[in-house]
Amino acid sequence: MQQFRRLSKQSFSFLSNKNTELIVFLLLALANGFYLVMYKYIPSLDGPQHLYNSNVIVELVKGNDFFKQFFQINNVLVGYWNAHAVLSLYNFIFPSWLAEKLFLLTTLTLIPFSFRYLIKIINPNAGYLPILILPFVTNSYFFMGYYAFCFAWIFFFFTIGYFIKNYSEFSKIRKLIILCFLLFLTFLSHMIIFSFTLSVIALYLIYRFICDIIKKETKTKYALLSHVKLATRILISAIPSIIFAIIYSLHVFELNKDLNTSSFASSDLLSQFVNISSLVAFNHKSEGIMNSQLFIFVMALGLISLIFVIINSKKKSLLSKNHIYNIIFWGLLSLLVLILFFVFPNSFGTGSVSKRILVFFYFVFVAWIAMNRLPAIVHLIIIIAVIWYGYNQTVVRHPYYDKIDHLISELVEAEDTMRVNTTFTAINCIPLWNNWHYPCYIGSEKPIVYLKSPQNMGHFPVVWNWEKMPTNYLGLYKSGEAGTSWFNGSINKTIRPIDYVVVYGNWVFNNKAEYKKLKTIIDTFYNLVLVSERGTVALYEFKLYDYLEAKIPEIESNEKWMAQIKTKAEIRKLSVENMLLLDAMYYYTRTH
């Protein structure tokens, strides 16, 4: 074994320089995001919603009065602010398509470097082992557009790293203040990741207390007293974040009170674990093959690591006591998280919990591997394997990205035609699991209100302004009456015509019987102003502006007509102004 290790060190001495290791790590971390430069738009399920809301935040900060009628900042401090703040900053400075790329590149780069920070604290000689994290950074949630969840891992690794590094120094106020700040930033990133962070800290405190008792270097009484003091200090530093987390959790559980608890079957969970389903972006079959290969590779590394833990633990010159303690802790933590994956429900206050725990497991397990001292040949094999996986991942996903990139470009064609400070609704005639929110790309660049914006119900930083938001009509039809729906104000009953309708799946809209009534309504009140170059997207604009501008004063000057309108308004419990608008539009339908 000694000869093998010596030969490995000699063969790969050119990689041993620390500056070389840092450069290689940086280059591979950037290469992990190479796909970002291959396409203009980076499609995901929820990403468009967050990009849209980032522009809403920009407009609210600018003081846009039109947007203030529809949106406001959530008065509950939610655990999603960090990602939205960074994305909003980028969107304020750069075009929205570039802002999203910069945000994704920031996330893809900082997660590996925060992970490397944690590993280097425990194992300064980790070398190239932290590179193993790269395949797990681009997990399913990254491609589902769960930007806040992904971004939060940066703060998880930095916070845990800082905690372990300063474990024996928290009697210093400055250290506790920094920990308090890091915990608060973690809460502002994502509630689930904040829960993971607190859990790891609590488990580490308990583990170190047990280690001290086993060592018997101090009496149990004094060890207990010392750890109680330390735990109290840590708790005090965490209290501000915990208070806000409790408030937010109660708020979310109230919003999600109708969400039923559900779980996967054990066989499904086992399949997800072996196929690393947390890394699938588009196709379970094609991506599952290389993920299964990655599973075998990582588990083999885990076995090799275990062998070297046993060997190295017998040689005090190779591993310090603290290093051994940390290796054992992260090994036990991996096992605990894996058990949690198999027993915890998939829905608990929020959905898709199982796969989030699976992401957590692989991060922790890879951390455990990287904390070990392994031969140089293993480092080189990891570099080669990561490059191989990244290349194959890009090849497999390219056709999906390329096709969807063109679809999003067609939607953005519509935005270029639309006026600022207007409203629109969208009709998706080709609903797929990942395209429901693509219309959110409209309004991510210009200040345009999307009346179906889905992430404004209270979970996220921006919410609907129900008190000031007008009641939006599609011609003479309220939400739900014309075969499509959108959000409306609950208090302010001022009626306002929707300015634009975006049809996504234009051929289906024009030819399927189920859309006949809706098409008739749109053709009555709207003009077709754009069909995208490929024909997938159609844009309709409300056409009665000039007519209403002339007709309403004419009606107001007719006493008999106004008397009828007042009577109708009283019967329908509408304001005279609203009834006047509806009557003018109704008159148009009878005369044109």
DSSP code per residue over 418-460 = SPSSEEEEEEESS--TT-TTGGGGTTSSS-EEETT-SS-SSSS
> What average pLDDT does range 548-572 have in this prediction?
92
Highest mean pLDDT among 109-113, 325-329, 508-512: 109-113
- Confidence tier at 15 by pLDDT (50, 70, 90): low
Supply the pLDDT for residue 160: 97
Residue 65 burial (CB count, 10 A): 9
Supply the pLDDT for residue 516: 92
Taking the C-alpha atoms of residue 61 and residue 461, their distance in angstroms, rounded to an integer, is: 13
Taking the C-alpha atoms of residue 354 and residue 207, their distance in angstroms, rounded to an integer, is: 25
- Confidence tier at 3 by pLDDT (50, 70, 90): low
pLDDT in tens, 302-346: 999 999 888 877 776 567 778 888 999 999 999 999 999 999 888
> What average pLDDT does range 541-549 have in this prediction?
95
Q: Which amino acid belongs to residue 336? A: L
Contacts of 387-392 with C-beta under 8 Å, sequence gap 24+, read 387/28, 387/31, 389/135, 389/290, 389/294, 390/28, 390/31, 390/32, 390/134, 390/135, 392/290
> What average pLDDT does range 204-217 have in this prediction?
82
Distances (CA, A) of 576 to 448, 477, 563, 571, 590: 28, 18, 10, 11, 21
> What average pLDDT does range 364-368 have in this prediction?
97
Contact 1, 311 (CB under 8 A): yes
Supply the pLDDT for residue 412: 92
Supply the pLDDT for residue 403: 84
Average pLDDT, the chain: 90
The backbone region for 352, taken as left when phi is positive above 0, alpha when psi lies in -120 to 50, beta otherwise, is: left
- Asked if the model's pLDDT at residue 221 lies above 80, the reply is no
pLDDT in tens, 462-507: 999 999 999 999 999 999 988 899 998 876 678 999 999 999 999 9
pTM recorded for the entire structure = 0.91
The backbone region for 274, taken as left when phi is positive above 0, alpha when psi lies in -120 to 50, beta otherwise, is: alpha
Contact 424, 450 (CB under 8 A): yes
Contact 118, 182 (CB under 8 A): no
User: Which residue is listed with tokens 């932290």?
Assistant: 130
First to last CA, the chain: 91
Supply the pLDDT for residue 259: 65
| Structural tokens at position 140 | 């399913």
Residue whose C-alpha is closest to residue 145's, from 25, 46, 236: 46
Residue whose C-alpha is closest to residue 580's, from 572, 449, 538: 572
Strand 448-450 to strand 422-428: parallel, antiparallel, or no bridges (unpaired)? parallel
Supply the pLDDT for residue 352: 79
Strand partners, 71: 464
> What average pLDDT does range 34-46 have in this prediction?
87
Supply the pLDDT for residue 300: 96
Supply the pLDDT for residue 285: 82
Among 46-60, 213-227, 366-380, 484-498, the least confident range: 213-227
Taking the C-alpha atoms of residue 429 and residue 560, their distance in angstroms, rounded to an integer, is: 44
pLDDT over 70 for what percent of the chain?
93
Taking the C-alpha atoms of residue 568 and residue 185, their distance in angstroms, rounded to an integer, is: 55
Taking the C-alpha atoms of residue 326 and residue 119, their distance in angstroms, rounded to an integer, is: 10
For residue 539, the SS3 value is: strand
- Asked if the model's pLDDT at residue 9 lies above 60, the reply is no
pLDDT in tens, 238-258: 999 999 999 998 888 887 776
Q: What's the burial of 552, exposed, middle or buried (CB within 10 Å: 0-12/13-18/19+)? A: middle
> What average pLDDT does range 559-572 have in this prediction?
91
Supply the pLDDT for residue 322: 82
Among 66-80, 255-269, 330-344, 450-464, the least confident range: 255-269
Highest mean pLDDT among 83-97, 205-219, 314-328: 83-97
pLDDT in tens, 127-177: 999 999 999 998 889 888 999 999 999 999 999 999 999 998 998 999 999
